Structure formats: structure tokens, C-alpha cells
Amino acid sequence: MNVLHMKYAVEIAKAGSINKASEVLLIAQPNLSRSIKELEADLGITIFDRTAHGVHVTADGEKFIGYAERILNQIDHVEEIFKSDNAVKRKFSISVPRTSYISDAFTEFTKKIGSEAVELFYKETNSSRAINNILHADYNLGIIRYAENYDKYFEQMLEEKGFVGELVTKFNYVITTSRHSPLASLKKIRFRDLQPYIEVAHADPYVPSLSLAQVKKEELPDNTTRRILVFERASQFEVLSENHETFMWVSPAPDKLLKRYDLVQKECDENKKIYKDVLIYRKDYKLSELDRLFISELSKSKKEYF
């Protein structure tokens, strides 16, 4: 059954005349009559009785016109939804490390997206999943974090996968602990001061071309007998806040976040390792207006934190 023929029948029923309907539909009357006859033949019913004074809808025709009107209304509704979405809905998607300065930038970004239809996707995860989200999960942007000594591995990987890599920032990790922890009172923290305490850590370090065991040995060294591996950032802060025996190596956090969880952060002069956060996206991808707005907020947040 032709949906267009269905539309013709509904218009004829409204007009009460094939001639009048042909004027509204801008279709020649013989062609319109032929379309209705084909529709009636397909259905095996008579929709209209033809008379010298016009057409009248039969009992079967009334039942058909009722169904046809509902179907056509549903088609119009579906078209309205999806044509409208495709025309105006904007999308922003990014995968990032679990870190405060990026989440702050995203928060500020959400305040400036305007009133037009938009969908924002913000995923905190490790570098491997950030890369895979761009390759396989329809994400447009990612930020990966790695130690500077792994530069060649990541540069080679980005080139092989056809990615652009733009440095966001470099930094040293600092120690975060409860304000009530004995560590908080130390003027200077050394590695040996941490040994009696429980380390809270990310559990999923990643470096391309290296085994997970090899990377973990360097990123999660065996210099502590007690470690809690937590993937979710808010839970990490909860543990640090409530368990005064815990500490964590993190990128610098803002005072407002430290106050919220009653935490302090301390530098360790012995920690010389430098980390990089790198923005990645496909070489053939053109940054959108939303992407550029987020990158602008990211730049502001980086300057404030670092």
C-alpha cells in the first residue's frame, strides 16, 4: 500500500470532491482518480461512491480513513521529531582522566552552552578507553594522561591511529590527605614518610606497546604494603576524607574542593616524575563551536590550577 495514496484518500474525504482535492494536492484529476482506484484494488474495498454531485465515503471507507489519518499523523510526528533534532541538536563528547581541573572546566562550559538543543557526554576513564571511545564509540574528543618518559609510545600510537595530539599541561603529582592525618602536619614529606599509610590509587594505568604488568610496576610500585584501588573520583575523595590513614598522589586540586572534603595537599620534593595531559581527536575531525568553547574553559582552568 502506497502511503502517498493514503494521503490522497484522506484529502478527498475532507474535500468531498476529487476535483477539489486535485486542486489542493496540485495533481491532475485523472491521475488522482487512478491512484484511488489502485488503492481500492490493493485493499479490496470501495472507499468512495462516485456520484454526479461528488464522492461519498462508504462504511469501509470511513473505517479506512480513520486509520489512515492516525497513521499519517504518526508519520508527521516522527518526521517533526527527527528533522528538528537533526537540524538544531548539537553534540559534545569527551573522555578524560579523573581530575579536578578538567571537571571544573566542564562545569563552567555547561553554563555557556546556550538555550538551543544539545547533548553533552563527559566520561571519566583511563587513556586506553579514551582512545577506544574515539575509535569505536562515536566520541569526538579525549584527554589522555601519561608519564613524560612514555612520550615515544604515545606519539607513535597517535600517529598510527591518525590522531592529533595537543599538549594541555605538564605537572608533578602532589599528595592529598585528610586535614586530620598526621601527614598534614609535616612541613616536608619524603617517600619514607608514606610507608606506614594506606595509598589510594587508580587501578588502570595504560601505555601502548607495554604490558600492563610492566606499567603497573612503575605506576604502582611495591613501596607500600597497603593500597586501595578505586576507579571513581568522588569515592576516592570520600575515602581520603573519612580514613585519616590514607593518602593519594593526584594532580593539583582547587581550594574549594579540598575544603569540601576537608583535605590538604602537600608537595614531595623527592617526586620528580612529570606527567602530561594531551588533548586528542582524529586528524580528519573539524572542531565544532562547542569543542572550542570547552577548550577555552579548559585553558582558563589550567591557568588557575597550575
Q: CATH number of the domain that 79 lies in?
A: 1.10.10.10
Q: Are residues 109 and 46 in the same domain?
A: no
Q: pLDDT higher for 157 or 225?
A: 157
**81-114 confidence digits (pLDDT tens):** 666 555 557 899 999 999 999 999 999 999 999 8
Q: What is the pLDDT of residue 53?
A: 75
Tell me, rounded to whole angstroms, the distance of Cα 77 from its chain centroid. 27
Instruction: Say which CATH number the domain at 165 has.
Output: 3.40.190.10
Which one of 45-49, 52-56, 220-224 scores highest in mean pLDDT?
45-49
Q: Are residues 208 and 263 in the same domain?
A: yes
Q: Are residues 231 and 110 in the same domain?
A: no
Q: Are residues 70 and 108 in the same domain?
A: no
Rounded average pLDDT over 127-144:
92
Does the pTM of the predicted model rise above 0.95? no
Q: Are residues 224 and 238 in the same domain?
A: yes
Q: Are residues 140 and 279 in the same domain?
A: yes
Domain span at residue 70? 3-87
Q: Are residues 177 and 253 in the same domain?
A: yes
**4-32 confidence digits (pLDDT tens):** 899 999 998 888 888 888 888 888 888 88
Q: What is the pLDDT of residue 288?
A: 94
Q: Are residues 206 and 223 in the same domain?
A: yes
Contacts of 115 (CB under 8 A, 6+ apart): none
